[in-house]
A and B are shown apart, each in its own frame.
Chain A
Amino acid sequence: MNALLEQFIAESRELLEAASGRFLELERSPDDPELVNELFRAMHTIKGNSGLFDVPALTRTVHAAEDVLVAVREGALRLGPEHVDLLLDAMDQVSAWLDELERDGRLGEGADAAGEALAGRLRALLGGGEAAAPAPPEEDAPAEAGAAEGPGAALPPDWAVALPGEARAAALEAAGGTAVAVEYTPDENCFFAGDDPLQTARSAPGLVWLGVEPREPWPEDPEAFDPYRCVLRFRLLCAAEPGAVREHFQYAGEEAAVHAFDPVWLAVPGGEPQGGELWAEVAEDLRRALAAGDADALRARAEAALEAQGGEGWEPDCLRWIARLAGREGEAARARLALLVEALARGELPGEAEETPAAAPAGEASAGGPAAEGPDGGEGAAGDDGGPALDATARELLASQRDMLRTPCAAEVWDGRLASARAVCLRVAGERPELAEAFDRARAERDAQPAIEAIETLLAGEGAEAPAAEAVAEAAAAGAEAAAGGAPAAAAPQPPPAPSAAPAPAGGAPATPPAPGRGGDGAERPRIRTLKVDLERIDALMDLVGELVVAKNALPYLARRAEDVHGARELAREIKAQHAVIHRVTEALQAAVMQVRMIPLSHVFQRFPRLVRDLSRRLGKPIRLVVEGEEAEADKNVVEDLAEPLVHLLRNACDHRIEPPDEREAAGKPREGTVRLRAVAHDDHVVIEVSDDGRGMDPAVIRRKAYEKGVIGEQELESLDDQAALQLIFAPGFSTAERVSDVSGRGVGMDAVRAMVRRVGGEVRVHSVPGAGTTVRLVLPLSVAVSQVMIVEAGGQHFGVPVEAIRETVRVPAADIHRVKDREAVVLRDRLVPVHRLHRLLGLEEGERPEEEALLVVRVDGETAALVVDRFHEGVDVIQKPLEGVMAHFTIYAGTALLGDGRVLLVLNLRELLRCP
């Protein structure tokens, strides 16, 4: 899959995940503007990015969601639960599409229809009339494909317009269809990473101008100045393909804001206006040359006038720009020329109310290129009323799309660019089948030519038809100033005001090919504070730590050898001292690596409010979920494996245990049920509780059910105490649900929960008070990576026993072990404990029975048992590996571990082992 798509999918998933939570919050507090804004931004980002790919259904859906949010933000719509339902559905659909996209690289059949339907339903929220209306220009979806850079992408940044005339002239001269402005703000600590930002800046492709300035005032006192903290900011103008510049700055990431724009917008005259009648005459002269489409004559006249009138001041500067622009290709350049000529006549750049003269010739020129019939143009330049001006805006947009399609670009962004151009053109020109067809052909043929021709035809075909003008009317209202040729940036002769406020996307974005990668993602994004590291690397690190632990464990053996074999007691002591140091460092290292693997439980918890809400609505019971302690952390594997069991538990709580509201009321409880999800982190384990204030569980009922289902025998039916009986719900094949609903209750839930929890080395218990509620408690290890085992010996072999299961080690006289029928038992601390012999369980040879037996007392699933072994050995930290291959079937072993002396230790799975007869 291409990297761009991969990034889009990952980023969109993150945004969606966060958005789901926000939608729920929004439902509770529909008036929170911050929430709406946040959601809007999320939708906007997904939408904008999606324009890079051929996923119209996705774009349309997100776009519709965005429109709904706009309506909410503007107070035109108040969100109710059904709205949120719909929005959540849309998010689910988008998420499903992302999965498809990841799997197949494209959306499946029917995505378009589904997208259409969803978008339609969303837009229906806005009220019928608006559903069909074209979106307001600033919501212009795929046109913003390149809009990672924000509005006004095709306008130069303010600072670029404010540069000295010579710098801008050089850029204009050197650049083709696009110039690139880069604002590069290197990280303060970049020197320590070996970077030389200046070198990066100086070697930028097509560098025309470079400016360096401090981003904070220099300290007054030279002593306070730290030369190794980079506080410079670089600004560059490059005459190069935006792609090349972005590639150059790719390692700078978000430190470099790469901004592609049409260099003609750099043509802003500066200096003091001189005034006088004569400029109007010059302008008249130039206007004629312009209307005739004679670029050489235009340049010659501008230069002649410049020579005649002297070089200083605003008007001569105007002439200079005219001379530079004359003969330049492209609509924007011609529009700009017309604007400058007009400006010369007036002594100022035409403001936003007077865009007509600038825009009209643009339309005219496009009709037949530079050598077009003159009279029309003259008329246009003389100034018309608003109608044709709007049309000209549309024309200019179309022309800019055409120019964009003409410029070559990297293959991976070509599709996105075509899609973006198509969307803009269709929106601007109205739904024209022949245009859409041309774009489809272009896509099929992987050649933009049909689309370019279609646009040409449209432009040449006296495009004053009503639909175009109408379709664009709205766009023009907002976009006129921008589309009129960057007028806002130039409205004041000297330091141009910020064009950032100008709603440029209409004319702007299309001229920028979609940004490949992260280079241009604008400066507003927060700094990267966290790293995304491939889990494999962390695992590799963990493995190395494991090897280090093993190597470390070898030192005590070495010390013993030094003493026993070589008699070097002094050396042995030193080795032991070193071992202590290495041990400490290894432990710290291990802890640090573990820390890296820790993620907060909120990763899984955050999806539950949605789950409970859905369940609550589906079951018709009001249920509130209270989440506590989601900031507690645990190993990534543990957290991820937790999701499924918790879903089961929450479903069970909502479905079976929370009573219907009427029943609750009758029992004197609030109608709304409460389910509490609580996490508490302890030293080496984390406790997660799912509790509810529902009807609770009756041990007698459970006992009877378990008996009926054959889970327990008659004897247990009598003997099980209440708490033990409750645990039966985790037994395979047990379900107390009286009816099977679509939510839960197929008799697998709790069994599966226990299996999953145990897989990560955890344990689960249930506690319940009839009528008052139930609490299911999961105890999970914080980490599954390193475990402590005690080594025991039986039949001449060594085995590991997980330390957490061991209660004590005792030696008892052999005579104290009594035989009860075929079982053995021992009385320990006044309790009868069953005794198992490890040899027998493992089928090992049994040696002579000693007078005193070594007993390992363990506790598994709440049951205490004693294991007879030959000898106890030390406890060690091991990295336990699961059994693989043929060994995987031996469930009596939990895994293997490598010991310091190179031996492989089999770690026992006591639960399985003790189940053996």
Chain B
Amino acid sequence: MPVKLGKTVATLEGLCAVEEAEPLLAWLREHPRGKVNLARLAHPHTAVLQVLMALRPPVSAPPRDPALAAWLLPALGAGRAEGG
């Protein structure tokens, strides 16, 4: 499963399909302080991206793909990224 929902960190990996949006949203609602690890993310579906943008969870690890990071982090408000 491309989205692993842990206790404090949700890890998004590879291609996150549209079905992941709902569980991710539910998890973020339940874990207001939850972080997201995007290191191995290749492509989030637009719906998943929306969830990230709307709830703005802190990013525990930015995407390793520089092209992805280049636009994704600004969209997520990179100022709140917490290195890593």
Contact = CB atoms under 8 A, between A and B. Distances in A.
Interface of A: 186, 190-191, 195-199, 202, 209-214, 218-219, 222-223, 225, 227-228, 230-232
B64 interface: no
A213 B77 CA distance: 11
Interface in B16-33: 18, 21-22, 25, 28-29
A197 B21 contact: no
Given A219-B54, A228-B47, 15 more contacts: A195-B46, A196-B46, A198-B43, A198-B44, A211-B71, A222-B25, A222-B28, A222-B29, A223-B29, A225-B54, A227-B25, A227-B48, A227-B54, A228-B21, A232-B46
B50 A227 contact: yes
14 contacts: A198-B43, A198-B45, A198-B46, A214-B53, A218-B53, A218-B54, A219-B54, A222-B28, A225-B25, A227-B21, A228-B21, A228-B47, A231-B50, A232-B49
Contact of B18 (A196, A212, A213, A231): A196
Q: Tell me which of B46, B71, B74 has the highest count of chain A C-beta atoms within 10 A of its own C-beta.
A: B46
A191 B18 contact: yes
Contacts of A195: 46
Contacts of A197: 46
Nearest to A231: B50
Q: Top 8 nearest A-B pairs by Cβ distance?
A: A198-B46, A227-B21, A212-B75, A210-B71, A218-B54, A197-B46, A225-B54, A227-B25
B51 interface: yes
A232 to B, nearest CB: 6
Contacts of A186: 46
B43 A212 contact: no
Interface residues of B, number: 22
A199 B43 contact: yes
A202 B70 CA distance: 12
Nearest to B53: A214
Contacts, number: 66
B71 A209 contact: yes
B52 to A, nearest CB: 10
Nearest to A214: B53
A223 B29 CA distance: 7
B44 A227 contact: no
Nearest to A235: B71
Interface of B: 18, 21-22, 25, 28-29, 43-51, 53-55, 70-71, 74-75
A596 to B, nearest CB: 31
Contacts of A225: 25, 51, 54-55
B54 A196 contact: no
B18 to A, nearest CB: 6
Contact of A211 (B21, B43, B47, B75): B75
A186 B53 CA distance: 16
Nearest to B49: A198
A813 B4 CA distance: 88
A209 B70 CA distance: 9
Contact of A212 (B29, B47, B49, B55): B49
A210 B65 CA distance: 15
Contacts of A212: 49, 53, 71, 75
Contacts of B71: 209-212
Contacts of A210: 70-71
B53 A227 contact: no
A209 B75 CA distance: 12
Contacts of B51: 225, 227
Contact of B74 (A198, A211, A228): A211
A394 B37 CA distance: 57
A659 B49 CA distance: 73
Contacts of A211: 71, 74-75
Contacts of B22: 227-228
Given A209-B71, A225-B25, A232-B53, A191 B47 contact: yes
Nearest to A195: B46
Q: Tell me which of A186, A196, A202, A227 has the highest count of chain B C-beta atoms within 10 A of its own C-beta.
A: A227
A222 B24 CA distance: 12
A214 B70 CA distance: 18
Contact of A232 (B21, B28, B50, B70): B50
A186 B45 CA distance: 13
A196 B50 CA distance: 12
A227 B47 contact: yes
Contacts of B21: 227-228
Given A191-B18, A225-B55, A230-B50, A196 B45 contact: yes
Nearest to B55: A222
A195 B22 CA distance: 16
Nearest to B46: A198
A214 B18 CA distance: 18
